[in-house]
Amino acid sequence: MKVLQLGKFYPVRGGVEKVMELLRDTLPTRGIDCDLLCSSYDAGPYKEVAHIDGGTTFISKTLFRKFGTTFSPQLLSKLREIQGHYDLIHIHHPDPMAGWVLKHSGYQGKVVLHWHSDVLVRPWLYKMYQPIEDWLLQRADKVVGTTPIYVAESPQVARGLRDRSKLTYLPIGIPDKHPNAELVQKIQAKYQGKRLLLTIGRLVPYKGIEYLIDMASHLSDDYVVLIAGRGPLEQKLQQQIEAEGLTNKVKLLGFISDEEKVAYLEACHLFVLSSITKNEAFAIVQVEAMSHRKPVVSTQIPESGVAWVNKDHDSGRTVPVRDGEALARAVEEICSSEAGYHAYADRARARFESLFTIDAMTDRCVEIYQEVLKQ
């Protein structure tokens, strides 16, 4: 079997691109040849990157970026050139350029549409893309969500997809990462005697970080809240921390490296996700926390898969959005006893191992391909 993944920018910058990269690297271990066709993140010449497994990443030249997508006419000419080499095209959504290119390429083979997220832009802008999206939903042989909840509750899927039997899901899998023990010890020593509550992400409105800060005001001084990431709200959030007298309980860490991220996930007691809108479709960082045997407290976002990833009363707790006090109560419940905490921690790791490993994702992806090719 030979598969072409069609999607977003190169090099890897976000979650969608990371999934593409992981599948490109792991599908060959199941005997599937996998190439990747995408556009460059910044303007640059066309290039091809050959990989050890024999796969190739074709990177088309981008003229410019606007509204979260690239404008890369070369993507169309390249797809027309190579499309006959593949049994199946796996297209990743949302990516307006990739959708437009597939529609106009003349490709007649099988299509898997990977629905990572709805298109969340202003209504006038969405209307421009909607005809392509509707075509994709009808053209696809399978429409694959990252969780069963997101695709089932998506109003865009509901409007554009006539045949609901096409729907399935493929949870995102990640590799186990081993922390730098020295870094972990350094973090724990810095906050000795405290229970560390961690969140990681961009400091943007949909992350609901203000409610995470409010959570800290409802917790005892036994807890310290660590917020890793940068973004446009950084100054405003620091002002909130100071205004509420929480400088000893809430710390903005700024940017942290991948190595530091793994160390903080290992060092923390519990992971908290306070996101408030369906811009947070999956929150892979929850899975990363579970892989380190950390319970998760996250939010019940309408039409999002976040609360499916973190199963309530199993790998952690889920609470209503925009409620710092509810976040605090959930933290206290999980941490109320050593036995209770470790039970949550063990279940978090078990959920990771059963649903969110690289092997689980790859095997499920192969099953979907096989189902499509049998149709």
- Domain ranges across the chain: 2-173+357-374, 181-356
Q: Per-residue pLDDT for 12 more than 70?
A: no
> Which tokens belong to 332?
């206290």
Per-residue pLDDT tens for 132-143?
A: 999 999 999 999
DSSP string, 36-66: EEEEESSS---EEEE-TTS-EEEEEPP-EEE
- For position 49, what pLDDT does the model report? 81
pLDDT band at 14 (very low <50, low <70, confident <90, very high): low
- For position 54, what pLDDT does the model report? 76
Pick the CATH number of 181-356 from 3.20.20.70, 1.10.10.10, 3.40.50.2000, 3.40.50.20: 3.40.50.2000
The residue type at 251: K
- For position 267, what pLDDT does the model report? 98
- Check for a shared fold between 2-173+357-374 and 181-356: yes
Mean pLDDT of 197-208: 97
- For position 122, what pLDDT does the model report? 87
Residue that wins the pLDDT comparison between 146 and 42: 146
Q: The tokens 């199963």 sit on which residue? A: 311
The residue type at 7: G
Output phi, psi for 365, to 5 deg. Answer: -65, -45
Per-residue pLDDT tens for 310-348?
A: 999 999 999 999 999 999 999 999 999 999 999 999 999
Contact yes or no for 212/324 (Cβ under 8 A) = yes
Output phi, psi for 205, to 5 deg. Answer: -55, -45
- For position 48, what pLDDT does the model report? 78
The pTM (predicted TM-score) of the whole model is: 0.89
- For position 45, what pLDDT does the model report? 75
Among 6-20, 108-122, 184-198, where is mean pLDDT lowest? 6-20
Identify the three-state secondary structure at position 221.
coil
Which CATH architecture is the domain 2-173+357-374 placed in? 3-Layer(aba) Sandwich (3.40)
Q: What does DSSP say about strands 296-299 and 316-319: parallel, antiparallel, or unpaired?
A: parallel
Please state, in angstroms and rounded to a whole number, the distance separating the CA atoms of residues 10 and 17: 8
Per-residue pLDDT tens for 290-315?
A: 999 999 999 999 999 999 999 999 99
| Residue 316: partners with Cβ closer than 8 Å, 6 or more residues away | 270, 271, 295, 296, 297, 298, 310, 330, 334, 344, 348
